[in-house]
């Protein structure tokens, strides 16, 4: 049985690959290091020019390789979610590809794979890693029935540490989570049963790593302070209501003095009906017979 034409083509391509040698991938920087918020560029180049059909960038993780960007001459380029508006290709040469993170974040820390689909060799890949150095932290607290709970959170790379300027003879608890990309999250919880004893003192959470440090102060306010503020607000509202009532009563008294026998006088308008005369005041409708009853008695 004679070999088919396809068999000869496969043998020819195999011999060609052996003679020419499969090209390798050069990663210009095996480990890129930047501070959080700065731009970071990853670049891969084939050692030998070839017929590159498509270039794919993937983020390497323990579970799977996730496509983040692809480019080909036929289909153009595509940036996959959630990397849209955060990065783009900065080189569209098929055998020399690079991507740039415009503002690198801690979540971008990790290793990336540049994958070249080359004819007739198939897939050829390289690997480069990105380390983003940064530190972010937050603190909040709650007081209930004299019991204080203060919580300080920190996320960073390298690993951050958390401390308090004053423990007030209490021991805080800490929880640590190391993410697959090496970023560490820490939560420190400080519980104080008697918040009255520290109401006049400041409490500060201190967060630091090898590159930076920060202090997050919180001002302790006891529950009586909040009650006093509420009392002041309530008294202010009550005072405004009393003033409005006095103004309304004074206005009614003046209107009654200026109204007699259903005639019109300068001032608020009068509405004359068969039954009685009504004084129209914004928001108030007063019958003159009732409002001027006292004045009529005095005249008699």
pLDDT tens for residues 114-152? 999 999 889 999 999 999 999 999 999 998 888 889 999
Residues 87-116, buried b or exposed e (16+ Cβ, 10 A)? bebebeebbbbbbbbeebebebbbbbbbbb
Q: By mean pLDDT, which of 13-17, 159-163, 282-286 is the weakest?
A: 13-17
Cα separation of 178 and 176, whole Å? 7
**Mean pLDDT calculated for residue range 263-268:** 47
CA distances to 39, 177, 222, 230 from 225, rounded to whole Å, are 47, 37, 6, 9
Verify that 107 and 144 share a domain, yes or no.
no
Q: What is the pTM of this model?
A: 0.63
pLDDT for 187 equals 98
CATH number of the domain bearing residue 95: 2.60.40.10
Verify that 64 and 100 share a domain, yes or no.
yes
pLDDT for 285 equals 47
Read off the pLDDT of residues 215-242 as tens digits, 9 standing for 90 and up: 999 877 655 444 566 778 888 999 999 9
Query: Is residue 283 domain-resident?
Result: yes
Strand partners, 26: 45
First and final C-alpha spacing in the chain: 140
Query: Which one is predicted more confidently, 124 or 250?
Result: 124
Residue-number span of the structural domain to which 169 is assigned: 134-223
Query: Is residue 199 domain-resident?
Result: yes
Verify that 30 and 128 share a domain, yes or no.
yes
Query: Is residue 40 domain-resident?
Result: yes
| Cβ proximity of 162 and 186 under 8 Å | yes
Verify that 26 and 127 share a domain, yes or no.
yes
Verify that 165 and 181 share a domain, yes or no.
yes
CA distances to 47, 71, 139, 231, 253 from 50, rounded to whole Å, are 9, 16, 55, 80, 101
Residue among 256, 250, 240, 252 nearest 294 (CA): 256
> How many domains does the chain fold into?
3
The runs of H, that is alpha helices, within the chain are 5-20, 223-257, 288-291, 293-299
Query: Is residue 233 domain-resident?
Result: no
Query: Is residue 6 domain-resident?
Result: no
Verify that 79 and 98 share a domain, yes or no.
yes
């Amino acid at each position: 049985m004679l070999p088919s034409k396809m068999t000869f083509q496969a043998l020819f391509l195999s011999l060609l690959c052996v003679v020419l040698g499969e090209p390798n991938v050069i990663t210009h920087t095996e480990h890129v290091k930047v501070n959080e918020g700065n731009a970071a560029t990853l670049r891969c180049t084939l050692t030998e020019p070839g017929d590159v059909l498509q270039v794919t960038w993937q983020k390497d993780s323990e579970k799977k390789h996730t496509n983040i960007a692809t480019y080909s001459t036929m289909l153009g380029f595509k940036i996959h979610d959630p990397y849209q508006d955060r990065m783009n290709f900065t080189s569209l040469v098929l055998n020399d590809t690079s991507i740039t993170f415009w503002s690198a974040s801690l979540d971008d820390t990790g290793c990336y794979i540049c994958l070249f689909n080359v004819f007739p060799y198939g897939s050829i890949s390289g690997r480069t890693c990105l380390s983003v150095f940064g530190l972010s932290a937050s603190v909040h607290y709650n007081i209930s029935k004299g019991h204080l709970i203060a919580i300080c959170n920190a996320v960073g790379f390298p690993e951050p540490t958390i401390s308090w300027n004053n423990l007030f003879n209490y021991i805080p608890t800490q929880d640590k989570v190391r993410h697959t990309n090496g970023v560490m999250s820490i939560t420190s919880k400080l519980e104080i049963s008697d918040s009255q004893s520290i109401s006049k003192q400041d409490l500060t959470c201190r967060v630091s790593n090898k590159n930076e440090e920060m202090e997050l102060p919180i001002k302790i306010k006891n529950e009586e302070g909040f009650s006093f503020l509420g009392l002041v607000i309530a008294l202010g509202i009550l005072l405004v209501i009393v003033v409005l009532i006095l103004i309304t009563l004074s206005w009614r008294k003046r209107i009654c003095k200026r109204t007699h026998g259903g005639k019109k006088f300068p001032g608020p308008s009068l509405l004359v009906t068969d039954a009685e005369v009504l004084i129209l005041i914004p928001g108030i409708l007063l019958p003159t017979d009732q409002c001027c009853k006292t004045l009529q008695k005095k005249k008699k």
